[in-house]
Amino acid sequence: MARRHHPLGIDIGGSGIKGAPVDLRAGAFAEDRLRIATPKKSTPHAVAEVVARIAEHFEASTGDSPIGVTVPAVVTRGVVQTAANIDMSWIGTDASNLLSAELGRPVTVVNDADAAGVGEQQYGAARNVDGLVLLATLGTGIGSALLNNGALVANSELGHLEIDGTDAETRAASSAREREKLSWEEWADRLQRYFAHVENLLWPDLIVVGGGVSKHAENYLPLLHLRAPIVPAQLGNAAGIVGAAWLAANT
């Protein structure tokens, strides 16, 4: 019997580039992921070489299946418009064309939080939820994804809302809690201010909290008092890779 090929998801981060084939029936990695350190000079071509190494590593299980790639940036029609934790030379780069040419396969490039949102919508905490879902990733900054009746509203960038005269993520991201050595209660006060502000703008039906700190959700989510239910993401750090692979196979 011929081996079944899976789409490949790759997540480009500031410190590491991670990839794995994704079984779209299960919403899970088909093999253990491979992580390679992000090049110190993380230019598009330097990163593309690492992406190619990951694709080559999984060639037997992905064949010529499409590839989904996440970047920490706004992406419109495959073109990178901003750069967070990657080299500024990404801005204006047609990443989809660059990576497709490098890999010889179709590549879908998407914002990292948007990919995580799609992963949770297809397989995790936001599955089968009608209305408006907000996924917020709490990490170095605050990433956001909006899903309206299952459709992605891309590049929402809600971590950059100005609240009390400050870029929201500078006070409410997980990195702020660590940097300022805040207690869970002190950090929850800041999250309350942030999520209440977002709620008053968008009135989501569900809020999903992702990022590494979602593993400790019991320490802070019960301290929040919002109209919408707020729950931890279910796919953890796999959400972006899973969502990227799903988008590559379905767009």
Task: Collapse the DSSP code of 230 into the 3-class scheme (helix H, G, I; strand E, B; otherwise coil) and give the result.
Answer: strand
Residues 133 and 93 in one domain: no
Dist CA 79 CA 120 (whole Å): 24
Q: Verify that 150 and 208 share a domain, yes or no.
A: yes
Identify whether residues 137 and 97 lie together within a single domain: no
Q: Is the pTM of this model over 0.85?
A: yes
pLDDT tier at 1, thresholds 50, 70, 90: very low
User: Does some domain include residue 119?
Assistant: no
In a domain, 120, yes or no: no
Strand, helix or coil at 127?
Answer: coil
Give the whole-angstrom CA distance, residue 216 versus residue 223: 13
pLDDT of residue 85: 81
**pLDDT tens per residue across span 202-244:** 999 999 999 989 999 999 999 999 999 999 999 988 999 999 9
Which amino acid makes up residue 200?
N
Q: Note the pLDDT tens digit of each residue in 77-135.
A: 999 999 988 899 999 999 999 999 999 999 999 999 999 999 999 999 999 999 999 99
The reported pLDDT for the residue numbered 229 is 98
- CATH code assigned at 56: 3.30.420.40
Taking the C-alpha atoms of residue 218 and residue 80, their distance in angstroms, rounded to an integer, is 36
Cβ(216)–Cβ(110) below 8 Å: no
The total of structural domains in the chain comes to: 2
174 part of a folded domain: yes
Whether residue 132 lies inside any domain: the answer is yes
Q: Residue 117: inside a domain, yes or no?
A: no
Q: Tell me the residue type at 12.
A: I
Q: Do 105 and 173 fall within a single domain?
A: no
Say how far apart CA 77 and CA 58 lie, in whole Å. 26
Structure confidence at residue 57 (pLDDT) = 97
> In this structure, are 187 and 228 located in the same domain?
yes
Mean model confidence pLDDT for the chain? 95
Same domain, 48 and 94: yes
Q: Could you tell me if residue 3 is inside a domain?
A: no
Q: List, in order, residues 6 or more apart from 60 with CB less than 8 Å away.
A: 3
Note the pLDDT of residue 242. Answer: 98
Q: How much is the pLDDT for 3?
A: 61
Task: Kindly provide the residue ranges of all beta strands, DSSP E only, lying in the chain, ordered along the sequence.
Answer: 8-12, 16-23, 28-29, 34-37, 67-71, 75-76, 79-80, 107-111, 132-138, 142-148, 151-153, 162-163, 166-167, 206-210, 230-232
Residues 203 and 103 in one domain: no
User: Pairing state of beta strands 151-153 and 162-163?
Assistant: unpaired
Which of the pair, 2 or 60, is modelled with greater confidence? 60
State the residue range of the domain holding 188: 125-233
Assess whether 204 and 151 both reside in one domain.
yes
